[in-house]
C-alpha cells in the first residue's frame, strides 16, 4: 500500500525527494511560529496522488519530530513550563485520540468551513486586544488549570486529532486567553503539548493503514530542521513578532478554507 499513491511519479527521484524535504521544512517553520503550516505538506502529498485520508495520517510523523526538536530547544532556554504542559497535555491527548478515530471516516468539508469561521473570530481578538497576546498574566499562569480548562483543551485535542491543520492557532489562543501566558511561553507550551499527543494519533492512523511511510520519512527530515530553526528565532524575536506571523497565518488559512484562492486562481 505504501507506494500505490504515486502512480507514474518516481518517488526516489531527487526532484520529488527535494520537494518533500522543502515542504516539510516550510511546514516546520510555520507550525513552530504559529500553526497551520501543515497545509503545505497536505497539499504536496495530495498533489503526489495521496488521498486526503492518507495525507492526514502521513503528516503526523513529521509533526512528532518537528515538535520534539522545538520542545527540546525551548526547554534548554527555560521558556517551557513542562509541569503545566503535562497537565494540559493529558486532556489534549485524550481528545486527540477521539479526534483521530473520527477522522478515519468523516467528511471534512463542512467541518473546514466551521473552522474557517472560528479563525475569522479569532483574528478579531488578535488584532483588537494585542496586549493580551504580548503580556503574561502571571497570576493566572502560575495557577493549576481549572476544570473548565481541561474541557477546552480536550476539545482542542479532538480537533488536533481530527485534522492537524490549524490546531496550533487554537492552542495559542487558549494558552494566552485562558491560561494567561504570553505568546513566547504559549508557543513553547503549544509545541510541547502537540508533541505529547502526536505519537498517539500517529499510532491510530498506522493501525488504520493511513500512513505513507516513504513520503513521511522524507518530509519529516524537513520538519525536523524547520522546527529547530523556528524555535530558535521564536525566542529571539519575541511575542510581537509571533503575533504578526499569527495574524498573517490566520488570514491566509481562513481564506484557503473558504475557497478564496480557488476564485483567484
- Per-residue pLDDT, 79: 84
Q: Where are the alpha helices (DSSP H) in 34-146?
A: 38-47, 52-76, 82-103, 109-128, 130-134, 138-142
The answer to whether the beta carbons of residues 28 and 62 sit under 8 Å apart is yes
Q: What is the mean pLDDT of residues 253-262?
A: 67
- Per-residue pLDDT, 49: 79
Sign (positive/negative) of CA torsion 177, 136, 252, 5?
Answer: negative
Most confident range (mean pLDDT) of 61-70, 71-80, 116-125, 223-232 is: 61-70
Cα torsion through 42, 221, 102, 4, rounded to 10: 70
Q: Cell digits for 67?
A: 515538535
pLDDT tens-digit series, residues 133-163? 555 566 666 777 788 999 999 999 998 888 8
Q: In which band, very low, low, confident or very high, does the pLDDT at 2 lie, cut at 50, 70 and 90? A: very low
Does residue 164 register a pLDDT over 60?
Answer: yes
Whole-prediction pTM value? 0.79
pLDDT tens-digit series, residues 167-223? 888 898 888 888 888 888 888 999 999 999 999 999 999 998 889 988 999 999 999
Q: Give me the percent of the chain exceeding a pLDDT of 70.
A: 71
Does residue 130 register a pLDDT over 60?
Answer: no
- Per-residue pLDDT, 4: 47
Most confident range (mean pLDDT) of 17-26, 31-40, 107-116 is: 17-26
Does residue 41 register a pLDDT over 70?
Answer: yes
Q: Give me the percent of the chain exceeding a pLDDT of 90.
A: 24
Phi, psi of 144 (to 5 degrees): -70, 150
Give, for 261, the enclosing helix (H) or strand (E): helix 260-264
Does residue 116 register a pLDDT over 70?
Answer: no
Amino acid at each position: 500500500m505504501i507506494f500505490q499513491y504515486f502512480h507514474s511519479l518516481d518517488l526516489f527521484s531527487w526532484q520529488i525527494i527535494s520537494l518533500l524535504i522543502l515542504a516539510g521544512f516550510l511546514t516546520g517553520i510555520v507550525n513552530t511560529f504559529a500553526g497551520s503550516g501543515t497545509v503545505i505538506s497536505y497539499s504536496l502529498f495530495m498533489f503526489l496522488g495521496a488521498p486526503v485520508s492518507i495525507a492526514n495520517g502521513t503528516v503526523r510523523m513529521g509533526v512528532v519530530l518537528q515538535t520534539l526538536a522545538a520542545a527540546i530547544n525551548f526547554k534548554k532556554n527555560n521558556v517551557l513550563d513542562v509541569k503545566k504542559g503535562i497537565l494540559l497535555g493529558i486532556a489534549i491527548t485524550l481528545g486527540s485520540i477521539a479526534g483521530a478515530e473520527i477522522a478515519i471516516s468523516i467528511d471534512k468539508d463542512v467541518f473546514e468551513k466551521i473552522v474557517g469561521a472560528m479563525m475569522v473570530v479569532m483574528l478579531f481578538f488578535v488584532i483588537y486586544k494585542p496586549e493580551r497576546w504580548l503580556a503574561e498574566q502571571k497570576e493566572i499562569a502560575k495557577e493549576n488549570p481549572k476544570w473548565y480548562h481541561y474541557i477546552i483543551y480536550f476539545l482542542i485535542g479532538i480537533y488536533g486529532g481530527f485534522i492537524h491543520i490549524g490546531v496550533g492557532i487554537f492552542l495559542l489562543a487558549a494558552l494566552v486567553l485562558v491560561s494567561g501566558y504570553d505568546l513566547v511561553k504559549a508557543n513553547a507550551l503549544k509545541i510541547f503539548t502537540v508533541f505529547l499527543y502526536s505519537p498517539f494519533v500517529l499510532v491510530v492512523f498506522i493501525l488504520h493503514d493511513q500512513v505513507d511511510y516513504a513520503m513521511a520519512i522524507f518530509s519529516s527530515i524537513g520538519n525536523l530542521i524547520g522546527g529547530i530553526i523556528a524555535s530558535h528565532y521564536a525566542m529571539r524575536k519575541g511575542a510581537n513578532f509571533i503575533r504578526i506571523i499569527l495574524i498573517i497565518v490566520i488570514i491566509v488559512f481562513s481564506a484557503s478554507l473558504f475557497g478564496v484562492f480557488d476564485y483567484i486562481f
